[in-house]
Amino acid sequence: MARPMDGAKTWLAVAREVGDLLDNVDETSFGAAVTELLTPGRRWFATGQGRSGLVASMTAMRLMHLGQDVHVLGEATAPSVEAGDGLIVVSGSGETPVSLHYVRRAKEHGARTLAVTAHPSSSLAKLADVVLCVPSRDTAQFSGSLFEQGSLLVLDAVVMALAAGREGEHARMQARHTNMQ
């Protein structure tokens, strides 16, 4: 594991790490995630624990902006997961017990699962129907910071790919953006 940088301009170290991560995202797994999210009529649920859960929530918000029927798992207004639904699970380790439980339960109910993880051979990846690997293992940052940063950016890129080629999509997304601020 890399050591933290001493002195000024540590933000440049973060920028290099994020840039390296993005350079190493697998195009095939990225494309598989985009294809999975393009499934017409599928309701989506998003989850993760800790900061990964915040990334999952931000992704759910952007999918809502795209007009998808999406919910954050565990929120009071989230309906039950049913056959044909999809579950996005963000977990750096791919071993978080709560996340693994959610994937197993979703699969029992006939839902598809999309894992976003740094570990493509993790328990989560083995359970999931589709795996989007966010390669973030070597970092000078604390704990899972690079994974969480990379996951947000990669999932925002997925949203960009979903919106690509749709005339007027940004205007429709803006119209769905909250007006209660």
DSSP for 2-66 reads PPPPPSS-HHHHHHHHHHHHHHT--HHHHHHHHHHHT-TT--EEEEESTHHHHHHHHHHHHHHHT
Q: What SS3 state is found at 122?
A: coil
CA distance 29 to 70: 22
CA distance 22 to 16: 10
- Give me the count of residues in the chain: 181
Catalytic residue, candidates 95, 148, 167, 169: 148
Q: Does 169 participate in catalysis according to the annotation?
A: no
CA distance 161 to 179: 25
Q: Which residues pair with 129 in a beta bridge?
A: none
* CA 96 to chain CA mean position, Å: 15
On whether the CB atoms of residues 111 and 84 are closer than 8 A, the answer is yes
- What positions carry a catalytic annotation? 148
